[in-house]
Each structure stands twice: as structure tokens, then as C-alpha cells.
Chains A and B, each alone.
Chain A
Amino acid sequence: MKRYLRLAIALFRYSLTREMMFKANFLLWIIVEIAWFGIQLAFVEVIFANVHSVAGWTKYEMILLVGTSHLVQQAFQFVFMVNCMELPENVRTGKLDFALLQPASSQFLISVRKFDIGALVNATIGLGFAVYAIGKLNVPVGPEQAFLYSALVVNGVVIHYALMLMIVTLSFWIIRAQGLVYGYYNLFQLTRIPREAFRGGVRFFFSFVVPMLVVANYPAEVLGRDLQGWGMLWVFGLSFALLGVASLWFQFALRFYTSASS
């Protein structure tokens, strides 16, 4: 465990050095994410110029949800996203060999290789808006809520990672799987919608099978909507199970790797 932590720190430092080599590009990518986040906020603004609540959520509760969704997504991008996105290309070109030959867990090496430092900046912006919304909602936040919020944010990141890993693992069979990665961007959009807006089978599917409605809704509800205490413990079990399945699925798929270039 300690060894992996040291490895992660070394990789983080490497990523930081790399990013600083292309400073303009680094700043531009931060602007890209700010622009897309701004669009979400503009949408909330336009909606609430006409209505008072959406699925029972008020304006600032929605801003808290959008901010939290951004925080989780950017935290996921900070550690995992770029690496997962590179897997299909590494499988296609045979570059995955390099990860397989190292004396460390292959899953760790393909998941935590490059850190997206810009995403860290954007995660902070998401958190900033969540804090701003909490201020406007005027609800007291004690240590218990703050702890639960943080834990549920991490939980959301784990869910994103597990699902993304499962999706990109398909690239061992499907050559050129960018379509899959693009698909995940579509899933992100569901995390910003109040879960009460969904009904029936769709709500069940996106709560338990592909739990996009757990990712940001739960942390936002703990703070803004007084979701009571420990009744939502099951979501931690869910992400843990997803992570286990994703890991097994990845190990299984590795057996089909044919190392294209050699």
C-alpha cells in the first residue's frame, strides 16, 4: 500500500512537470471546463427565471447539485479519466505491454498514470459553487454532514471509475473504442438532474445498475436537503461491489490482449 502511495506521488510530480511544459494548453483546458460548467449554471438561471422548483428542488439546491456534480466529475478526471481514455488506444497499438511488464498491479498502472492537474482546479471551482449555494440556502453544516458529504463525493468518484473501467475494458474486443468514451460523457449529464425527476424502471436502472443518480444527488441531499444520517449507507456497498466487478472484468479481459505491435 505504502509502495503504491509513493508511486502515485511520483506520478503526480511527473504529471505536474509535464503540464507546466505546456502552460498555455494547461490554462486553455481549464477554460474549456469552466465554459461547460458556466453553460450548466446558465441553464439553471434560465429555468429558475420561469419556475420556483424542479422536482421539488429550489434554485440554490439545484446550484448545489450542479456544483457537486462538477466536483465529482472533475475529481474523477483528476485521477482516472485521461488514463481510462487512453486504454483503447494502448490496446490497439500494443503499448499496453509497458504497463503489463512493470512490477506493479496492471490495473493500478493503467488507471493512475497521468494526473490531470487542470481538473483539480476545476474541482475546486465546483466545490466553490456548492459552498456558495449552501451559504444561500442558509442551512447549518456540522462536522457529521461535512464528513458524509466528502465520503459521498469520494463514493461518486469510485462509481465513475468503476463504470468507466468496465466500458473501456470492452476495447480488448472492439478496436477503436472512442465511441465508448464519448458515451460516458453523455452519462455525466444525468448526474446533474434531481433523481426525483426520474420515474419507474429508468429511475431504478440509474440508481442501482448504472448509478448516475447516486453520484451527485446523494452528497447534495446530505447538505442541502437534510437527507437523514446513515440510511444511505447502502450506496457505499454499491460502489464497492461495482469496483469489484470492474476489477474482475478487467482481469478477465486482459487474457484476450494480443499485443498488436510485437
Chain B
Amino acid sequence: MFGRLSKYIHVMGVGFQNTFVYRWNFLLRVLFSFIPLMGTFYLWTAIFKNPSVQMGGYAFRQMISYFLALVLLDSLASPTEDDFQIASDIRDGLINQFLLKPINYLGYRFSLFCSARLIYTATTILPVLAVLWYMRSYLAFPMEPSTWFMAALATFFSATLQFLMAFCSAMMAFWLLDVSAPIFIIFSIEYLAGGHMFPLDLMSKRLYQLLMLTPFPYEYWFPLGVFLSRFSSRQLWLGFGMQILWCLLFFGISRLIWGRGIRKYTAVGG
């Protein structure tokens, strides 16, 4: 068992090194990602300037906490360039080597994804903590350890789901020459329907209920909602159930597309 796992752990090590080869690129990316957070902070401060404002039951502190927690979630669970790298592996024939060796490409990519997330979090943790400390008076983070545990669990499933969805969409490269436009379209849907732009319960109830049937809210909104205690215990378990269901479904879809794609694959440039 360990023997089979050790190669994936080795891949993670390679992933660490790869990130550090281009460390400036990486650091700048981290640094720039704080700009939208700042914009968001000032915008919501302006929105809540009138103390009587009620935003779907959110107070100012809860709203700011939502976006601060989103920064943490993004660094822990959101793929950055994984989908584009997978697509270029397929397009340039680089997956040939995985077809010939006893290593699973999905497992290989998942190891790289985990290493990237770990490095990213390790690098961002200091600036993020500094920001959290600076904004501590605005925070409404939970006190109970059980909430933190549930949120961590929801974050883990969110990471798995986000990775599998990125993997599936990248496999369009078996059929399309350039997948970046479709990937950006999917990304825009995830952004809005996933709760990256604003908490989803600000929408009308009907639209909200409809969205909760799709996989998108389980990427961002559900783990954040768990963290900020927005759900009843029934909604909580239903949410976890849906998260696991979507993970299994996308795992199945990824196997299916991979099987079909390989048959279509022409090993260009191999």
C-alpha cells in the first residue's frame, strides 16, 4: 500500500520544487491576490455605511468575515493553473508517458494539486494572518471547535470537488484544440453560482434552492456557510451529502471522459 502511495508522495515533492523554480512569479501572484480583497472591503464598508442596512440578514462584520474566509478557502482548495496544465499535457502528447507507466494520471495530477495548495497556503498564511490580525475588529469567526472541524471537512470536500471539476473540464482538450474559452466560461458560472461574488442567500429563495441542486455552491458557498454557521443541522448534513455525491459523480465522469478521450487521443508530439 505504502509502496503504491510513495510514488505519488514523490510527485508532491517534485511539485514543491517546480513551484519554487519560478518563485517570483508565484510570490507576485500571491501579493496581487490581496488587491480584490481590499476593493471588496472598501466596497462593503460603503454599502454598510448606513447602520440600518440589512443585507439578507448579514451584519457588516459577518459580510467581511465571509470574504476573509473566502481568501483562506481559495488558497486551500482552489486550483490555479491545474486545468490549463492538464489540457496542455493532453494537447502536447505529454500524457504518453503516463499511459506506459504504472502511474495513474488522475492520481498524479491530484498529488501536484495538493502540493501546490500546500505551498500556496504556507506562503500566504503569514500575510493572511497579518490581514486577519489587522482586521480583527471586523471578524465574526466561530468559537466552537466543532464548527472549525466541520468547516475543515467541508473545505476538504470542496478542494476535491474543485479539482475533479477542473480535471473534467480540462479533458475537453481531447476534442478541442483550445479549451481556454470554455474553461473561462465554466469558471464564470462557478464564480457567480458558487458564491464567490456574494453569499448565495442574498438571492431570491427560489433561485437559491435551484442553485443548491447544482455542484457550484458546494465549491465555495457551502464550506463558507458552515464556517459562519449559516445552516441548520438538517441543511448541514444535507449539504455534506450533496458535496460527497457531487465528488463521486465527478469522479465517475472523469473516469468516463478519460476512457473515451484516450480512444480519441492521437499522441501528438509524443
User: Is A54's CB within 8 Å of the partner chain B?
Assistant: yes
Interface string of B1-34 (1 = CB under 8 A from A): 0000000000000000000001011111101110
| Contacts between chains A and B (CB distance < 8 A), count | 101
Q: Which residues of chain B from 39 to 96 have any CB-CB distance to chain A below 8 Å in the complex?
A: 39, 42-43, 45-47, 49-50, 53-56
Stretch binding the partner chain, chosen from B131-139, B156-164, B196-204, B245-253 = B196-204
Query: B45: which of A25, A49, A189, A197 is its contact (CB, 8 Å)?
Result: A197
B46–A197 CB distance below 8 A = yes
Q: Nearest Cβ distance between residue A66 and chain B, in whole angstroms?
A: 12
Residue of A nearest to B26 (CB): A179
Is B46 a contact of A182 with CB atoms below 8 Å?
no
* Chain B interface mostly: helix
| Contact flag A46-B182 (CB < 8 Å), given A55-B46, A183-B32, A202-B38 | no
A58 sits at the interface (CB 8 A): no
Bitwise, B145-168 to A at CB < 8 A (1) or not (0) is 000000000000000000000000
CA distance A178 to B39 in the complex (A): 22
Q: B267 on the interface (CB 8 Å rule)?
A: no
Q: Once bound together, how far apart are the Cα atoms of A177 and B27, in whole Å?
A: 11
Is A176 a contact of B198 with CB atoms below 8 Å? no
Chain B min CB distance to A255 (Å): 20
Stretch at the interface among B118-126, B186-194, B217-225: B186-194
Q: Which residue of B lies closest to A40 (CB)?
A: B197
Contact B54 A32 (CB under 8 A): no
Interface size on A, residues (CB 8 A): 40
Rounded to whole angstroms, the CA-CA distance of A142 and B81 in the bound complex is 48
B36 within 8 A of A: yes
Partner of A193 from the list B28, B43, B49 (CB cut-off 8 Å) is B43
Chain B contacts of A199 at CB under 8 A? 42
A193 touches B181 (CB 8 A): no
Q: Size band of the B side of the interface?
A: 35 or more
Q: Is B210 an interface residue (CB 8 A)?
A: no
B39 near A28: Cβ-Cβ < 8 Å? no
Contact for A32 among B25, B43, B45, B181, CB less than 8 A:
B181
- Inter-subunit contact A31/B203 (CB<8 Å): no
Given contact pairs A49-B202, A186-B36, A198-B42, a sample of 9 additional A-B residue pairs in the complex whose CB atoms are under 8 Å apart: A35-B184, A35-B188, A46-B202, A50-B53, A50-B56, A177-B28, A183-B28, A183-B35, A189-B36
What are 5 contact pairs spanning A and B, CB under 8 A? A29-B181, A32-B185, A46-B203, A55-B46, A187-B32
Q: What 9 A-B pairs are tightest by C-beta distance, nearest first?
A: A183-B32, A28-B181, A197-B46, A179-B29, A179-B25, A35-B188, A55-B46, A179-B28, A186-B35
Residue positions of B touching A, CB distance < 8 A: 22, 24-29, 31-33, 35-36, 38-39, 42-43, 45-47, 49-50, 53-56, 178, 181-182, 184-185, 188-189, 191-192, 197-198, 202-203
Interface residues of A (CB under 8 A from B): 22, 25, 28-29, 31-32, 35-36, 38-39, 42-43, 46-47, 49-51, 54-55, 174-180, 182-184, 186-187, 189-190, 193-194, 196-199, 202
